[in-house]
Amino acid sequence: MSQQIYDRVALIGLGLIASSMGHAMKKWNLAGSVVGHARSEETRKAALEVGFCDEVFDTAAEAVKDADLVVLAVPVLAMGPIAAEIRDHLKPGATVTDVGSVKQAVIEAVAPHIPEGVDFVPGHPLAGTEHSGPRAGFATLFRNRFCLLVPGHARPVAVERLTRLWQGMGANVEQMDAAHHDRVLAVTSHTPHLIAYTMVGVADHLAQVTESEIIKYSAAGFRDFTRIAASDPTMWRDVFLTNKEATLDILGRFMEELFVLQRAIRMEDGKTLHDYFTRTRAIRRGIIEAGQDTAAPDFGRVKAQEE
Ligand SMILES: NC(=O)c1ccc[n+]([C@@H]2O[C@H](COP(=O)([O-])OP(=O)(O)OC[C@H]3O[C@@H](n4cnc5c(N)ncnc54)[C@H](O)[C@@H]3O)[C@@H](O)[C@H]2O)c1
Ligand SMILES: O=C(O)C(=O)C[C@]1(C(=O)O)C=C[C@@H](O)C=C1
């Protein structure tokens, strides 16, 4: 049985990530109580019904009162206004964190509202699904996934405590600076999502392929694209608007490579295609091998948490 790390945790925004955190904190007894706020009554009711919140509040200001940890789990562009709303209601000594997919923009928007005596430790769990809302969460979402923390000026004791919470939820925690985070994520998450959205859009626009054919003949690769392209539109709109430069840079490089392959196909240059695919296959194998070494399930710890 894990040890409680916070007495009271307030989740602001009760969607996939917040509900998964709530479930995980309850399952492994990491918080004395979990309270929450969502704008809609329907979402607040769902959070109580599903059981990942003990109490819900109509406003974020009420929810954060007395909380030791406040988790901002709303779309990236909503973080700043929420921080402004809660600033005068935070408990002295509390920690504020967020789970946004972009870090520099969140820090710029939130940090100015963090009062003296409160620590801000931005974070980002590298785990998700294409589903959203309070019924989408599950306790094991973060298990064996990375959670990146960007501690900035936060006190080490606050960073260490939040690290223990994420570890308790099964994540491997690492620290990174915000600019590097945004660049890495532009490569590994943001641009791939944009490509998936585009590919599904292209298929949709092809007049000669009817919708039923797309579904009927959907091969595994395309189905994976449709899964990714089903992700929440508000969340991803905010990601691209706030990680603009890094995404545009990676997208530019992507298009350069695409033109190389396009030319190789037109010129029937099989060697270029074969060499390219050999290189990418090695990258995929490297990721899997790295997973076996570093990000592989720590069965001992997970088992201990389950007991
Ligand atoms: N879904 C993923 O794969 C994933 C993974 C890691 C991090 N994130 C990040 O986590 C955060 C939450 O994402 P999620 O997947 O849980 O989303 P979600 O859509 O499931 O939930 C978001 C919640 O925020 C609320 N909300 C939306 N706009 C709001 C506003 N203006 N003011 C107040 N509340 C608002 C929604 O009603 C909902 O309760 C985002 O910042 C996202 O970038 C998402
Ligand atoms: O698995 C998925 O559905 C995801 O897209 C999760 C994913 C990712 O790109 O890996 C999406 C956004 C995040 O900020 C973190 C994780």
Tokens of 132: 């959203």
CB 120 within 8 A of CB 148: no
Q: Residue 209's pLDDT is what?
A: 64
Per-residue tokens: 212? 């039923």
How far is Cα 244 from Cα 139, in angstroms, rounded to an integer?
Answer: 32
Q: What is the pLDDT of residue 78?
A: 98
Which has the closest alpha carbon to 301: 142, 168, 162?
A: 168
CA of 261 to the centre of ligand 2 (A): 27
Nearest residue CA, atom 27 of ligand 1?
A: 74
Q: Which two tokens stand for residue 191?
A: 């641009």
Contact 98, 123 (CB under 8 A): yes
Helix axes 270-293, 244-266, angle to 10 degrees: 140
Is 101's C-beta closer than 6 angstroms to any atom of ligand 2?
yes
Distance CA 1, CA 168 (A): 10
Report d(CA 34, CA 26) in Å as an integer.
8
Helices (H), the chain: 16-27, 41-50, 60-64, 79-86, 104-110, 156-168, 178-185, 191-205, 211-216, 220-228, 233-242, 244-266, 270-293, 299-306
- DSSP of 178-237, one letter per residue? HHHHHHHHIIIIIHHHHHHHHHHHHHHH-TTS-HHHHHHT--HHHHHHHHHTTS-HHHHH
Domains in the chain: ranges and CATH = 6-176 (3.40.50.720), 180-293 (1.10.3660.10)
Q: Give the ipTM.
A: 0.98
pLDDT at 296: 38
Q: If you measure from the C-alpha of residue 195 to the centroid of ligand 2, how many angstroms do you get, rounded to a whole number? A: 14
Q: What is the pLDDT of residue 298?
A: 36
Specify the long-range contacts of residues 245-249, CB closer than 8 Å, at least 24 apart. 246/182, 246/183, 246/185, 246/186, 246/190, 247/186, 247/190, 247/191, 247/194, 249/186
Confidence at residue 216, expressed as pLDDT on a 0 to 100 scale = 72
Q: Tell me which ligand sits closest to the C-alpha of residue 181.
A: 2
In the prediction, which pLDDT does 299 show?
30
Kindly state if the Cβ of 130 falls inside 6 Å of ligand 2: yes
Looking at residue 92, its pLDDT comes to 98
Whether ligand 1 lies within 6 angstroms of the CB of 235 is answered as yes
Q: Is the CB of 242 under 6 A from ligand 2?
A: no
**Res 219: pLDDT:** 75
Determine how many CB atoms are found less than 10 A away from the CB of residue 114.
Answer: 20
How many Å lie between the centroid of ligand 2 and the Cα of residue 126? Answer: 6
Residue 122 and residue 242: Cα distance in Å, rounded?
15
Check if 14 has its Cβ closer than 6 Å to any atom of ligand 1.
Answer: yes
Please state the atom number of ligand 1 nearest to the C-alpha of residue 99: 10
The Cα 57–Cα 81 span in angstroms is 17
Cβ of 126 closer than 6 Å to ligand 2, yes or no, is: yes
DSSP 112: G
Which residue, judged by its Cα, is nearest atom 9 of ligand 1? 100
For ligand 1, say whether the CB of 101 is within 6 Å of any of its atoms.
yes
Which of 11, 12, 14, 16 maximizes ligand 1 atoms within 8 Å of its Cβ, making it the mutation to test the pocket? Answer: 16
pLDDT along the chain (307 residues), means of 10: 89 98 98 98 98 98 98 98 98 98 98 98 96 97 97 96 98 98 97 93 71 72 88 96 97 96 97 95 83 40 34
d(CA 139, CA 21) in angstroms, rounded, equals 7
Q: What is the whole-number distance in angstroms between the Cα of residue 39 and the centre of ligand 1?
A: 12
11: left (phi over 0), alpha (psi -120 to 50) or beta: beta
Nearest to 147 by CA among 159, 135, 133: 159
What pLDDT, on the 0 to 100 scale, is given for residue 2?
A: 66
Q: How far apart are CA 121 and CA 106, in angstroms?
A: 11
- 13 Cβ inside 6 Å of ligand 1: yes
Q: Which atom of ligand 2 is nearest to the CA of 239?
A: 14
- Ligand 2 atom nearest 130 alpha carbon: 3
